[in-house]
Amino acid sequence: MSRRKLVVGNWKMNGMQAALDEVAAIGARAAQHPAVEVGLCLPATLIAAANARKGGAFIGAQDCHMQASGAHTGCLSVAMLAEAGASWTIVGHSERRQDQGETDADVAAKALAAKAAGLGVILCVGESLDVRDAGNAEAVVSAQLLASLPDGAAADWLAIAYEPIWAIGTGRIPTMEAVATMHAALRAALASRIGEDAKGMRILYGGSMNGDNAAELMAITDVDGGLVGGASLTAEKFAPIIAAANGVVD
Which residues sit in the known binding site for substrate?
10-12, 169, 208, 229-230
Q: Which residues are annotated as a binding site?
A: 10-12, 169, 208, 229-230
- Return d(Cα 55, Cα 39) in angstroms, integer: 10
Please indicate whether residue 22 is annotated as part of the active site.
no
Question: Which positions ≥6 away from 22 have C-beta within 8 Å?
Answer: 233, 234, 235
| Contact status, residue 110 vs residue 65, Cβ threshold 8 Å | yes
93 is catalytic: yes
Q: Nearest CA to 126 among 144, 110, 108, 109?
A: 144
Give the side-chain half-sphere CA count within 13 A for 57: 32
Question: Distance from first CA to last CA of the chain, Å, rounded?
Answer: 26
The DSSP code sequence of 124-179 is EE---HHHHHTT-HHHHHHHHHHHHPPTT--TTTEEEEE--GGGTTTS----HHHH
Q: What letter represents residue 79's amino acid?
A: A
| Burial bucket for residue 18 (CB in 10 Å: 0-12, 13-18, 19+) | exposed
Catalytic-role residue among 33, 65, 163, 183? 163
| Candidates 93, 95, 127, 138; catalytic one | 93
User: Catalytic residue positions?
Assistant: 93, 163
